[in-house]
Amino acid sequence: MSVLAIIGGTGLTQLPGLEIRQAVSVETPYGAPSADILRGEYAGRDVLFLARHGQPHRIAPHQINYRANLWALKQVGASAIVAVNAVGGIHAAMGAGHFCVPHQIIDYTAGRAHTFFEGELEHVTHVDFSHPYDEALRERLIAALRSEGAACSSQGVYGCTQGPRLETAAEIVRMERDGCDLVGMTGMPEAALARELALPYACLALVVNPAAGKAPGLITMAEIERVLEQGMGAVKGVLARVLSA
């Protein structure tokens, strides 16, 4: 049976009908993952959860051990991954509270450990990353969003920045010229590492704020947290539908 892994916030484990059975501590060749992996069951299906930023939420985007996270999930049996990401909206359609299942990504990060293929290698390995997200998994998320009646876009380009600071208005203008619809800080190298491990991977992105310069005034954490709280019900509903499919 396939085992879906969900990477996101700790609140995602509060699905009605979800039974968490075990917290698994994993050591990897790349160090420890962000948190213990939670193993549970939903609708008769095994599911794994990993808190990307740790438990409690304490690890900044540029300090996440992405390699350990992905390696640990593969090690405990994950066969596919849904990543839940809070993002900023660049495209006019991507207002606060809007969902997007991106189809492409542009990496603006620097200095992150981003590959398993380095060091003392027997041969150089290149993985095809033309289409970074698994299409079948994307379609399942899109169908679940539509069934939930959530405002959503079935495609978009995710621009991943280094963080932890938010972007300048000029940086967002540049990203918009590049074709980005969304901006976030955790999409890479997570997606690429999943591809290196041959794990189907897709992103469920919730827009929590307009990107810099896209709305009057400053971006506040209070507003971001308010939208996150409001959107969590729909996120849980989508995940429940995907797990039940």
Annotated binding site: 10, 52-53, 185-186, 209-211
φ, ψ for residue 240 (rounded to 5)? Answer: -60, -40
**Amino acid letter, residue 62:** H
> CA torsion sign, 221 to 226 to 227 to 228?
positive
> How far does Cα 24 stand from its chain's mean position?
21
Angle between helices 135-148 and 221-244 (to 10 degrees): 110
Binding-site positions for phosphate: 10, 52-53, 186
CA–CA gap between residue 214 and residue 227 (Å, rounded) = 17
Phi, psi of 74 (to 5 degrees): -65, -40
Please give the annotated binding residues for substrate, written as ranges.
Answer: 185, 209-211
